[in-house]
Every structure is written in C-alpha cells, then in structure tokens.
C-alpha cells in the first residue's frame, strides 16, 4: 500500500521545464488526422490479460504525494487522483482508468498498444530492452530527491570527488545529476527507503515496472485524445470517442514515450516541438508534406507549443518533412545516438540564459556535434532554423 512521506529537500534554482511539445511539456495529439468523436463499434479484442487491484499487487499508477504532469501528462489527472489502483495487465501494458468504464475499454486500449509497440520500437530502431534500460527505472521524484541530496553532500555512503568542494554550484549539480542517472536501481532504492524523509519508503513505491503505464481519460472529444509522457501514454476511453486512424495515433504516442526514455533530462524532454512531433508523425505513417511544398511553413521555428501558428494538420505535416530531411541525410541510427547524447547533458541555468537560441542548450550541443546536411557538411541548430528553406530546395 502507498505511504506518503514529506519531501523536505528541493533543488530550488532549476525551475525551467524543458518542454518538447504540448502546452504542458507532453505530447498532446490533436485532430491533425481527421479525428472525429463517436462511440466505438469495435468488438471486444482478444488480448491476453488480467484485471488486478493495486492493493493486492503493490503496483500503483502513481505513488507520489503530488504526481506531476511532467511525468504523467496533462490528461492523467483521473489516474493519479482517483483511479490509481485498478488496472488491466498484459505482456507490455498496465492500463489504468475508471473502474466504471466497460472492461472492453481496457482491453481495447491494451490491444491497440500491444499491436503497435513492436512496430514503434522497430521504426525508431531500438529494441524493447533498449527502451526499458533507457527509461528511468526509478520514479522521477525519487531521482530528483537523490540528485538534490548528492549535490548537498547528504549521503555518507557515497564517495565524493576530492575536488567537489572547490567546484561551483553548476559543476556540483552536474556531477550529482550524472551520478544519479548512472546509479543502479538497487543503490537508488537503498538511498530512498533508508531515508525517513524521502518521497518513497518502499521499493514498490519507487520502482517502475517494465511495462507501459497507460491512463484512460474520459474526454468527450478526439481533440487531444492521445498524449505521450515519461512512463507511457494517455488515451481517451474507446466507449466515449475514437479518432480516425487510431492505430497511427497510438503508434505516434508510443514514439513519444520512446523519445522520453531516450532523451528526457530531469527537467523535461528537451526536444523542440517540431522535432518531437515530426519524428512521431513520420515514423507513425501520418501525412507528411511534400518537399516541393516546404515554402508553405517554417517548422524549425516552432520550439514550443505556443510557437505553432495556423492549421495544426498543416503544421504537423511540415514537422514530418523537417524530420524526414534529417532522417534521410543522417540515418535513423545516428539520430538515436544524438538523442541519447541529449540526455547525458545536464541542464545548466547559466548556459541556457546565455544561449542565443531558445532551444535547450543540451539539444543544441548534441545536434551541432552530430547532424549533417544533405551534402555531408555539418548542420547546426541555427542553420536549420534560419536556412531551412534553402536546404530543402536542394533536397
């Protein structure tokens, strides 16, 4: 059963959320795929799984005192606040939602995810093992707590570098962050459960299962029906509303949770909106603008959700085109390596403040180091922002 203990240690200077997409930092797929509301007429899928109570298994959707939308998404409030303890489990999913919804909703959502998980992994060119080994095994609040305490030298059991006290604050935080990320699960659990002030007092509270955590929300529209996040995806109840091309939308959102596993720092995803959405659009098989139409939109200027202008379907199709150029010129495997590099670069307030670009400084550094143009020359974030159309003219 959950226990709630007050967390008294916070690292106060790092406040910026590195948002890749959506007004709250998560991917929130709206009606860019000719979505429509309506009742689901599909028969109950034949998916192997079991309905369970979290009080029997100690597997809860969330275990934090105040679950964050940074982790679970903006559409997960129902699961974090009310429907945290009833789920349908399959090989790769834990599907939570209102127990008053029909069982067919849980089975349908699980079936959609099971049908598209392998495909999403394959098109991203990673394995299931890669996904779970890169996704944080400890809930983010626990990792942040450890990082904060490491930065303030609160652990006698941890060996600190001899020069630690001579470092500036950013260097100390960088070491603490990287040390936390590289810590094995057993060590992280030990630091948490042996600390009476930590946010988690039992291993079952702190550790994420190697499953996709799915939350069914009950929106009455298909606008914003799907959402990817750090632990899985959120989707609307099939008995209430089902969008067109639902399988592509599910795959799109799974790609977003893979992005989080590969790239997300402790402060957020760190990818600009055009990149995160463009990758998900192209690799899920959604509509991509033709290269001859590149002049109709400026996708690489869309860093945050609020930068997006005009029709969203048009915007998404051009995000897909901008990503397609990178994929064709660099290869998907090189892009995956670049994304992993982004995760290893600790957020630094001073660097971000002094950067001439809006993008997360870690994304800029990793991109500039590895991305290429069609002719093989180096490509920088700044070039792709401002020379996009000249580059696409030669594509």
pLDDT computed for residue 39 by the predictor: 44
Query: Distance between CA 239 and CA 150 in Å, rounded?
Result: 47
Extract the tokens encoding 267: 């402060």
Model confidence at 329: pLDDT above 50: yes
Is the confidence at residue 209, as pLDDT, over 90?
yes
Confidence of residue 344 (pLDDT cuts 50, 70, 90): very high
Above 60 in pLDDT, residue 31? no
How much is the pLDDT for 94? Answer: 98
Task: Please state the rounded mean pLDDT for residues 122-151.
Answer: 97
Q: For residue 140, is pLDDT > 70?
A: yes
pLDDT at 223: 87
pLDDT of residue 45: 76
Average pLDDT, the chain: 90
**Average pLDDT score over residue span 366-388:** 97
Mean pLDDT of the 197-226 span: 95
- Does position 204 have pLDDT exceeding 80, yes or no? yes
Residue 168 CB-half CA count within 13 A: 4
Closest CA to 95 of 77, 82, 107, 81: 107
- The number of residues making up the chain comes to 395
CA distance linking residue 160 with residue 153, whole number of Å:
8
Q: Residue 292 pLDDT more than 70? A: yes
Of 185, 202, 190, nearest in space to 63 by CA:
202
* Per-residue model confidence as pLDDT tens digits over 150-182: 999 999 999 999 999 999 999 999 999 999 999
Look at residue 25 in the predicted model and tell me its pLDDT. 42
Q: What is the pLDDT of residue 43?
A: 63
* Spacing of C-alpha 106 from chain mean position: 22
Question: Residue 228: phi, psi to the nearest 5?
Answer: -95, 150
14 has a pLDDT exceeding 50: no
Could you give the residue ranges of the DSSP H alpha helices within the chain?
54-57, 69-72, 77-81, 103-124, 128-134, 140-151, 169-181, 185-193, 203-206, 246-263, 273-283, 312-330, 332-344, 349-354, 361-370, 381-386, 388-393
pLDDT of residue 17 exceeding 70, the answer is no
User: What average pLDDT does this structure show over 287-309?
Assistant: 97
Task: Return the axis-axis angle of helices 140-151 and 169-181, rounded to nearest 10°.
Answer: 140
pLDDT at 169: 94
Res 28: pLDDT: 59
- What is the distance between the terminal CA atoms of the chain, rounded to a whole angstrom? 57
For the ranges 8-12, 133-137, 349-353, which has the lowest average pLDDT? Answer: 8-12
> Locate tokens 């707590």: which residue?
145
Q: In this predicted model, what pLDDT tens digit does every residue of 77-131 receive, in sequence order?
A: 999 999 999 999 999 999 999 999 999 999 999 999 999 999 999 999 999 999 9
Rounded Cα–Cα distance for residues 31 and 11 (Å): 38
CA dihedral 303, 284, 106, 111 (to 10 degrees): -160
The confidence score (pLDDT) of residue 22 equals 40
In order of 166, 189, 191, 253, the CA distances from 199 in angstroms are 30, 11, 11, 29
Query: What is the per-residue pLDDT across 214-239, written as a single tens digit (0 to 9) for each?
Result: 999 999 998 889 999 999 999 999 99
Model confidence at 261: pLDDT above 60: yes
User: pLDDT for 177-196, tens place per residue?
Assistant: 999 999 999 999 999 999 99
Give the range with max mean pLDDT: 19-23, 324-328, 346-350. Answer: 324-328
Q: Is pLDDT at 208 greater than 80 in this prediction? A: yes
Q: Quick: pLDDT tens for 34-63.
A: 334 444 444 667 899 999 999 999 999 999
d(CA 37, CA 222): 6
The predicted structure's pLDDT at residue 12: 36
**What average pLDDT does the segment 321-335 reach?**
98
What residues have CB less than 8 Å from 168, skipping those under 6 apart?
none
């Amino acid at each position: 059963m959950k226990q709630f203990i007050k967390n008294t240690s916070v690292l106060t200077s790092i406040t910026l959320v590195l948002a890749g997409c959506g007004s709250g930092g998560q991917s929130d797929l709206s009606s860019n795929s000719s979505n429509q509301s309506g009742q689901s007429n599909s028969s109950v899928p034949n998916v192997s799984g079991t309905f369970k109570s979290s009080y029997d298994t100690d597997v809860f959707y969330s275990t934090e005192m105040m679950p964050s939308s940074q982790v679970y998404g903006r559409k997960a409030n129902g699961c974090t606040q009310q429907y945290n303890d009833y789920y349908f489990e399959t090989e790769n999913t834990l599907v939570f939602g209102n127990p008053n919804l029909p069982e067919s909703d849980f089975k349908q959502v699980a079936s959609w995810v099971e049908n598209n998980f392998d495909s999403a992994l394959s098109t991203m060119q990673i394995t299931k093992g890669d996904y779970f080994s890169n996704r944080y095994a400890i809930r983010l609040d626990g990792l942040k707590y450890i990082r904060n305490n490491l930065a303030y030298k609160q652990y006698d059991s941890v060996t600190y570098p001899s020069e630690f006290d001579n470092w500036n604050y950013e260097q100390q935080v960088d070491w603490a962050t990287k040390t936390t990320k590289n810590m094995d699960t057993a060590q992280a659990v030990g630091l948490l459960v042996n600390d009476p002030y930590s946010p988690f007092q039992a291993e079952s509270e702190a550790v994420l299962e190697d499953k996709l955590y799915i939350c069914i929300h009950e929106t009455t529209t298909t606008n914003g029906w799907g959402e990817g996040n750090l632990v899985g995806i959120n989707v609307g109840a099939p008995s209430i509303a089902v969008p067109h091309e639902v399988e592509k939308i599910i795959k799109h959102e799974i790609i977003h949770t893979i992005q989080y596993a590969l790239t997300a720092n402790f402060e957020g995803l760190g990818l600009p909106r055009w990149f995160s959405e463009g990758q998900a659009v192209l690799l899920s098989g959604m509509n991509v603008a033709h290269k001859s139409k590149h002049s109709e939109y400026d996708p690489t200027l869309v860093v945050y959700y609020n930068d997006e202008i005009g029709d969203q379907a048009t915007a998404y199709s051009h995000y897909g085109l901008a990503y397609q150029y990178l994929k064709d010129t660099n290869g998907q495997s090189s892009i995956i390596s670049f994304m992993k590099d982004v995760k290893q670069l600790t957020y630094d307030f001073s660097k971000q403040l002094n950067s001439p670009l809006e993008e997360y400084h870690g994304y800029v550094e990793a991109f500039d180091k590895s991305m290429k143009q069609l002719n093989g020359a180096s490509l920088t974030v700044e070039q792709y922002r401002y020379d996009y159309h000249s580059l696409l003219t030669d594509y």
